[in-house]
Amino acid sequence: MIVFAALNFELAEDHFSPGIDQRSIVGSVTLSADCREFLKTEKAQKYIEDGVIPSDGIILEESQYSLHEGDSAFTVLKSALNENNVLFDYTNVSEHSVYVKGISNVYEYDGGDLSGWMYSVNGVFPTAACSEYILENGDEVRWMYTCDLGRDIGDTYYDTAPNVGDSQ
Amino acid sequence: MRRRCILDRSHPLTLLIWYISMITITVIILDPIITLSSLIMGTIHIILVNGKPTPSFALRCVLFASAAALLNPLFSHHGVTVLFFLRGLPITLEALLFGAEMSAAACAALMWCASLSIFMTSDKITMLFGSVMPRLAVLLSLTLRFIPLIREKHRNILIAQRGLRSDSEEKRSIKFYAAVYSALVSQILEDSIEMSDSMRSRGIRLKGRSFYSDFRLRSCDVVMISLSIVMMSMIVFLRANGAADFSFYPTVSPVRFTGGSCVLYLAFIVIGIMCYF
């Protein structure tokens, strides 16, 4: 039992029905997640046939989620996905930085070498890790799958930033 | 026992090509049919060549395989069939099956490697790489010869030193073994100097030196090499065109016996069993 508790062992039903969040609600944010760019790749057909992703590529419709105190782009995504029974996978890159590897079984590198999940807040692509970006009331968070380092979903970081690719 | 297959009479080049094709296909094509047939053929091959494996060896294989299979779901969370959640991350059936597939393929590859070490003797390795990398071949043959030589020398020195000393206490002291090993090292050094002198005087570094080897490329070697290459290129071609494209993620795909896949499986089995004819 102690081992189970330490490893946080949960069955699927328990996982998708989490307890009530004790933190105070400070507002609300809009959140959506889509993998439209992934649909253009060869693999997408199998994913749609298997029922892993919907045929329009929208995993989470744009909708309102309550914002708790200290919520980051990651924690809001996590609770939204759990609420909608969607699987996802992440790693802790460092103590406080989380990297989202895959949402609904669409993983990084599934759409090529330059693919993976990115997020934008109010149309801007932050350069911080999603768990370090603390959201404010009324923010609009969009999680998007890119197949080209963000260029195909509107991020201009790699086109405008100087010295990209230089070792510093 | 070893007379049951032609590998021990085969040319080293045949062995090289045959083992390369068997092991690479087993490891690279992660398809259940390929892995299963490789596992079955490998087991039969080892039993025919080497006699029945001991129970402890079989047990070790099974333990290794199950450990590898169980570890994969802890690191890979791909897959849609969730068994349970650990630390907030899903443990999936697909990852478990992929782990089982990988460990089975590794076990099969280990069996072929065990067979390789039986048939690929040092003289065959030397013959294979002698003309391509002469220095390496010389070094390899010298080293491989040196190991039994050193063991024999060590035994002789030990006997001689024991005979020299009457006191039983002294025979176990550090001083005694230091004397043995110092004698051993100086003998080895002297031997290697002598050997290099003798090799130089026989013209080891002269241009145009030829190699002698006892192996002749016979007709059955030619058949085996060409059949291996034909089957191998067929497998590569079919695989590139989407045959045997079994995938575990996001869902385990069913085994499809399409024309291409069947030919691929058959080609692999042909490579595997052709050493018995």
Length of chain B (residues): 277
Chain B residues with CB under 8 Å of A107 CB are 78
Note whether A40 and A147 are within 8 A (CB).
yes
- Give the Cα separation of B107 and B211 in Å (integer): 37
Question: Model confidence over A48-98: pLDDT tens digits?
Answer: 988 889 999 999 999 999 999 989 999 999 999 988 989 999 998 888 899
The two structure tokens encoding residue B89? 């991350």
pLDDT interval class at A2 (50, 70, 90) = low
CA of B74 vs chain A CAs: smallest distance (Å): 11
CB B80 to CB A15 under 8 A?
A: no
CA of B244 vs chain A CAs: smallest distance (Å): 15
Beta-bridged to residue A64, according to DSSP, are A30
CB B247 to CB A46 under 8 A?
A: yes
pLDDT at B37: 96
SS3 label, residue A35: coil
pLDDT at A15: 79
Chain B residues with CB under 8 Å of A18 CB are none
Mutate which: B72, B83, B84, vs A, most A CBs within 10 A: B84
pLDDT interval class at A164 (50, 70, 90) = low
pLDDT exceeding 70 applies to what percent of chain B? Answer: 96
Q: Is the ipTM of this complex over 0.95?
A: no
* Nearest-10 crossing angle of helices B259-273, B32-50: 10
Got the DSSP string for B97-165? HHHHHHHHHHHHHHHHHHHHHHHS-HHHHHHHHHTTSHHHHHHHHHHHHHHHHHHHHHHHHHHHHHHH-
The domains of chain B are located at 2-124+219-276, 136-201
Beta-bridged to residue A118, according to DSSP, are A144
Beta-bridged to residue A100, according to DSSP, are A90
CB A87 to CB B82 under 8 A?
A: yes
Cβ-based contacts under 8 A for chains A and B: 47
The closest alpha carbon to B238, from B27, B53, B34, belongs to: B34
> Looking at the partner chain, which of A7, A50, A52 has a beta carbon nearest the beta carbon of B86?
A7
- Sites in chain B below the pLDDT cut of 50: 1-2
Within B202-250, residue ranges assigned H as helices are: 219-240
Mutate which: B74, B75, B77, vs A, most A CBs within 10 A: B77
Q: Which residue of B has its CA nearest to A91?
A: B89
pLDDT interval class at A165 (50, 70, 90) = low
pLDDT interval class at A19 (50, 70, 90) = low
The two structure tokens encoding residue A40? 């253009």
Domains and CATH numbers, chain A: 24-153 (2.170.130.30)
CB A7 to CB B247 under 8 A?
A: no
